[in-house]
Amino acid sequence: MKFGRNLPRNQVPEWSTSYIQYKALKKLIKSAGEEAKHAHGADTAAFFYSLDRNLEDVDQFYNKKYGDAIRRLKLLHDRYGWSLDTANGIDEDEKEDLMGALLELRGQLRKLKWYGETNRQGFVKITKKLDKKIRHTATQRRYLASKVDPKQFATNISLLETTKTINDWLEKLGDIRIRDDNSSTHSSRSLRRASSKAMLALPAGILDSVDQAIRADDSLRMTKLLSRRSPNTDPVNEGLPPILTLNLLQRAISCKAKACIDQLLAMIDELNAGDDINKRNCIHRLIITTGRSKSCGDGEPTTDAMQNSLETTNYIKPAAPPVLAPLSSSTKEHDDASELSRDDKATVLLEHLLDQLRPQQKSAIQARDVYERTPLHYAAQYGCVAICQILLSRMQAWGHFESSHGIDAPFLLDADGYSPLHLSVIGGHPKTTRTLLEAKDLKGVNDREAAAVRKNMPKSGEVLALAVKANFVVIVKLLVEAGVDLDYQDAQGETALHVAARFGHTACAKILLEGHDDQKADLEIAENSFGWTPLFTASVDGHIEIVRTLIAAKASLEKLDTSGWTAKEHAALRGHVDIAAVLAAVTASPSISELDPLSANSSNPSALNRSLTERKSNATTNGNGNGTLRSTEPVKTYGHRYLTKETMILVSLGTMDTRKVVEAVNLDRIPLAEAHSTQLDTALSVVVSASGANGEPSIIDLPVQDNISTDPIVFTALDVTKVKLLFDIVPTYAGSPNQRVGRGVALLSSIKPSVGSKRITLQGDLAVPVMAAGTLEVIGSVNFNFLIITPFTHPKMTIAGDLTYWKSMASTMVIGHRGLGKNTAARNSLQLGENTIQSFIAAANLGAQYIEFDVQLTKDHVPVIYHDFLVSETGIDAPVHTLTLEQFLHINENRRTPHPSRPPSPISAAERAINGSDPRKHRSMSLGDMKVSETSDMSERMKNTRDFKSKGFKANSRGNFIQAPFTTLEELFIKLPERIGFNIEMKYPMLHESEEQEMDAYAVELNSFVDEVLTKVYDLGKKRNVIFSSFNPDICLLLSFKQPSIPILFLTDAGTSHVGDIRASSLQEAIRFASRWNLLGVVSAAEPLVIAPRLVKVVKESGLVCVSYGSLNNDPQNVKLQANEGIDAVIVDSVLKIRKGLTVEESPATIAI
């Protein structure tokens, strides 16, 4: 693996500019090497100068970061000593803060360790490259030994010792049990949290007595005890150490000892504690403690609040860096009876504390902690309405807040850019939000002035977008009424209405559109990437109610994005046919003669289709390319890559089933008690590799992208039974995939359940547990699916250079569906039974170049021609693969030989060539002239089957159609002239189809199915033109990799019906799939192409053949729309009718499929 290529992915993102400048150093080596070729020696002075500067920069950055970590750790040592053995008395809030700080500190040290390891590896690699490129240098060993290895970052020795200390602390904290506040031991220990130097000021006995006095709120006794703190100190001239006094004040606040609070406040000058690891003062801690224990009130927490506390307090989220700041509460505000009021003890205590502050202490109300958050931030985050009111009134009274600046003024933003209003909205607290918005009322600012202030504050617009995203309808209404800027655009140019459109939040969208006073949301603001208005966003993401709402609000429906496409076309492409139909109903229908607005730019199709490649409206435009269409050549080559000896294994993470919500990698939560032993609280990646197979491991960052399932990882092997799939969980920035945290293993020989010989389950999704590397505990699971493609060989399988996949046609080809057309309930004309030899012969007599038919396999693996998955003629819903060939053919045999009504006519030579020596069927049989009782018998037999119940008839059945016997693929090859090409649709059920038909979820093994059909084709095909097609994506993959000479078309419903496979869900996905695997083209349902005919060009500009099918193609006008855009072929039921419709302008070729 190339170090330079992998360096960007192994970098800690926020430190990426501080790594070794590997590429720049490589350029210097290259220049020195070129110089060495033209001179007697190379001048490496410039290289070594730059290398030394890189070394200095890396070492300086490492030492600075390590020094910062050591300083924070020293605060803990000063506060708790070097051991936590006496820390069993700390309260729950302090334990949570302490563990959070330690986890965050350990996370920083881990990243610093990886930083050092990666950079040392960089120096090793670059000096090795120097020795390789420039002869007789031999500098690597000397340079590393003398300059690199002595640096701290090269060994990480001190860092590893510090990490061990933190893990020891975490282990002890995990074992601490929080006791109640009734024991004096606990009470005294809680005071000993002061630094060890401060503790020397009070003997242990006095400390216990002081604590008892505070608990009893006996300020006089407390003062006397403190004045007797040491016989060697002057009680008048020497005061208590500030750290100890602040600790006593915190204890008094915890005990709600107001008299002691008053006395202790008089003994200190400021409230900021220098030894607090989070830089919080007693006001911060009081509000955080109140918020954590609230609904916000004295009553018992609700079940939701308790569950939220459990989630955020007792567990660490895996695959993410630890968060030191208290998480936003998801506790919703409750009724007035249960929420925190001005009369609540905690509220009264806060007011008392604030009122007793001396002038020099009042700045503590706006003091910032390590996250730049003030006490107001935490009051807003926890939804404490009364506390917010108290803080705001005091801040304004003391001159710390001007309402004209707004509640989201820059000076109120924390380190993440969040104001108190942000945190209130994120937490879902409407009453707190109202309080913050009404802060103006405290100083008499009128509504119009306040609204003007908020409209000019960009952060207010951000808050509105956050509320819309979370679908907090009440809060959105509050913000709109408060005059927040409705048209604020973020860095991507999106407004709150774009956000509502993306997530389908109709109620929020309606509030934005209604607006307030003279302000309403602008419908036509376009975002920066593609020029999409909210209508485009809703159309792309498939939210039909939002689309209807925007239509009612008079949004521009014909507007084009920067690539020249309409919202209707985007919806049609992505399978949202219902939305496309709604838009089509209120926009002008496409005209056959209209000028293509893109024709002027047709020389650059990639630019035209840029906005069409994204699956969702919020897809990134720069990344690893998973979100864009694969680049393809516009011309298909004959003789593509195929398997000859090795078996191919395609591994896809996650699920293909759009009906499921399954994470590709699911890691269990980490209990805080086990925090000291885990490595899961950091950025992680999964490395997918295969033992016993060929193929590069694939590294995928967690969490896995949504579209990862359609980008499989490819391995090849000679013996697939010996292959083991390995899923390693590794730290993302460790720089080495060998530092694994856990592993999951799948044995391909036994991972799927056996369902019999040459049978396979249709349930493709699998899961394997992930075991921790050190403890072998199960820490999660990996969900995936895989496809095995075995090689196919046949003596007649060759690649002829003079053949092509597809000859360009001057006009659109008309293709007859299932011969002369599928059977329908209409009685307009007498219909030949579909998929029968008679129907195919009739199509051939009309000049058809191709015929299309559906192939399935019987129980004894014989390819037969039958469309439906269930054979209703049996009287039960029997799948084709459960019947033998004899049983299948017998079902439709004529069971009687009636007397002929007149002598038969002589048999022609052409008929004899087709039917062989078989005698001609009697006229009465061929015309269905049978007794009414026999027709009734067949209908009676089928009346309880699914197909008959849903349609009221069965195709190719007596009494309804001109019935003919079932046939086999072999019979078609033998009886039909070689000039007639075959389009063989491989009929193989997908999981959602088997569930819809209530079939058992198993079928013929995929490779056996395809191999049997291919064998017949190569045995009997001779020079006949053959094309394969299938709705099943896996069948298309097998057909493509098993042979090089027969083209494959991918059939797709294009969103006209619900499917369970993402690859079959839309025309866009069909294009991705066909392009990715070099298929000939796609056969799409006609609906999206009729609604948006220009999509034909999207298919063709992707280098694919475009064909459509469906009932809409029986209307000549619809076919003309598609033909005008250059569609290659249309599949129709009414061949003659469509031919006549097209011959007005052209003379089309006719093909029956």
Higher pLDDT, 711 or 833: 711
Query: Three-state SS across 487-514?
Result: CCCCCCCCCHHHHHHHHCCHHHHHHHHH
Cβ neighbourhood burial of 675 (10 Å; 0-12, 13-18, 19+): buried
pLDDT at 1084 over 80: yes
Percent of residues, the chain, with pLDDT higher than 70 = 73
Alpha carbon distance, N-terminus to C-terminus of the chain: 50
C-alpha span between 326 and 383 (Å, rounded): 13
Average pLDDT in the 1113-1140 region? 84
592 three-state secondary structure? coil
C-alpha span between 1050 and 1071 (Å, rounded): 9
Q: What are phi and psi of 452, to 5 degrees?
A: -65, -40
DSSP 967-987: EEHHHHHHHS-TTSEEEEEE-
Query: Three-state SS across 200-251?
Result: CCCCHHHHHHHHHHHHCCCHHHHHHHHHCCCCCCCCCCCCCCHHHHHHHHHH
pLDDT value, residue 85 = 54
C-alpha span between 768 and 385 (Å, rounded): 48
User: pLDDT tier at 1015 (50, 70, 90 boundaries)?
Assistant: very high
What residue type is assigned to position 859 of the chain?
Answer: K
* pLDDT averaged over every residue in the chain: 78
Higher pLDDT, 935 or 346: 346
C-alpha span between 1118 and 1088 (Å, rounded): 11
Q: What is the dihedral of CA 218, 220, 221, 223, to 10 degrees?
A: 120
pLDDT value, residue 783 = 93
810-833 per-position pLDDT tens digit: 577 777 765 554 555 555 554 555
Before 703, cis peptide (omega within 30)?
Answer: yes
CATH 1.20.1560.10 fits 486-628, yes or no: no
Residues 1126 and 1105: beta-carbon distance below 8 Å: no
pLDDT value, residue 1146 = 53
Using CA atoms, how far residue 721 sits from 575, 790, 1009, in Å, is 39, 12, 20
**Sign of the torsion formed by the C-alpha atoms of 127, 132, 134 and 140:** positive
Looking at domain 647-789, its CATH class is mainly beta
pLDDT at 596 over 90: no
Long-range pairs for 408-415 at CB < 8 Å and ≥24 separation? 408/454, 408/457, 408/459, 408/460, 408/463, 409/457, 412/374, 412/376, 413/372, 413/459, 414/368, 414/371, 414/372, 414/373, 414/377, 415/371, 415/372, 415/373
User: pLDDT tier at 625 (50, 70, 90 boundaries)?
Assistant: very low
User: pLDDT tier at 604 (50, 70, 90 boundaries)?
Assistant: very low
User: pLDDT tier at 310 (50, 70, 90 boundaries)?
Assistant: very low
pLDDT value, residue 186 = 40
Minimum mean pLDDT range among 102-111, 249-258, 347-356, 700-709: 700-709
pLDDT value, residue 354 = 92
DSSP symbol at 17: G
pLDDT at 994 over 70: yes
DSSP symbol at 893: S
pLDDT at 51 over 70: yes
Residues 713 and 727: beta-carbon distance below 8 Å: no
Average pLDDT in the 25-45 region? 81
495's tokens: 């407004």
Residues 944 and 812: beta-carbon distance below 8 Å: no
DSSP symbol at 852: E
Residues 697 and 689: beta-carbon distance below 8 Å: yes
pLDDT at 929 over 60: no
Average pLDDT in the 409-419 region? 82
- Which among 471, 356, 377, 470 has a CA at the least distance from the CA of 432? 377
pLDDT value, residue 964 = 58
- Which among 76, 299, 305, 271 has a CA at the least distance from the CA of 172? 76
85's tokens: 């053995």
Domains 486-628 and 813-893+905-1152 share a fold: no
43 three-state secondary structure? coil
Higher pLDDT, 938 or 607: 938
Higher pLDDT, 1141 or 227: 227
User: pLDDT tier at 164 (50, 70, 90 boundaries)?
Assistant: confident
Q: What is the dihedral of CA 1087, 1091, 1095, 1096, to 10 degrees?
A: 60
pLDDT value, residue 184 = 36
Report the DSSP beta bridge partners of residue 553. Answer: none
**Domain ranges within the chain, ordered by starting residue:** 3-175, 180-268, 291-466, 486-628, 647-789, 813-893+905-1152
pLDDT at 1118 over 70: yes
280's tokens: 């919080």
pLDDT value, residue 550 = 96
Residues 563 and 607: beta-carbon distance below 8 Å: yes
Rg value, the chain, Cα:
38
User: Strand 665-667 to strand 778-789: parallel, antiparallel, or no bridges (unpaired)?
Assistant: antiparallel
Residues 333 and 291: beta-carbon distance below 8 Å: no
438-494 per-position pLDDT tens digit: 875 545 555 555 555 555 566 678 889 989 998 999 999 999 998 888 999 988 899
Q: What is the dihedral of CA 354, 355, 358, 364, to 10 degrees?
A: 10
User: Strand 981-986 to strand 850-857: parallel, antiparallel, or no bridges (unpaired)?
Assistant: parallel
526 three-state secondary structure? coil
Report the DSSP beta bridge partners of residue 725. Answer: 690, 746
Higher pLDDT, 236 or 318: 318
C-alpha span between 485 and 370 (Å, rounded): 31
Average pLDDT in the 800-810 region? 51
Residues 854 and 833: beta-carbon distance below 8 Å: no
Using CA atoms, how far residue 967 sits from 888, 889, 926, 971, 1117, in Å, is 9, 7, 16, 7, 36
C-alpha span between 65 and 62 (Å, rounded): 5
**Sign of the torsion formed by the C-alpha atoms of 1142, 1148, 1150 and 1153:** negative
Residues 209 and 259: beta-carbon distance below 8 Å: no
Q: What is the dihedral of CA 38, 44, 50, 55, to 10 degrees?
A: 140
DSSP 435-497: HHHGGGGGGT--HHHHHHHHHT-HHHHHHHHHHHHTT-HHHHHHHHHTT--TT---TTS--HH
- Which among 238, 251, 270, 275 has a CA at the least distance from the CA of 72? 275
pLDDT value, residue 443 = 52
Looking at domain 291-466, its CATH class is mainly alpha
Looking at domain 813-893+905-1152, its CATH class is alpha beta
235-269 per-position pLDDT tens digit: 434 567 788 888 889 889 988 999 999 999 998 88
Residue with tokens 């973020």: 490
pLDDT value, residue 1144 = 59
950 three-state secondary structure? helix
C-alpha span between 1131 and 1081 (Å, rounded): 14
Residues 531 and 561: beta-carbon distance below 8 Å: yes
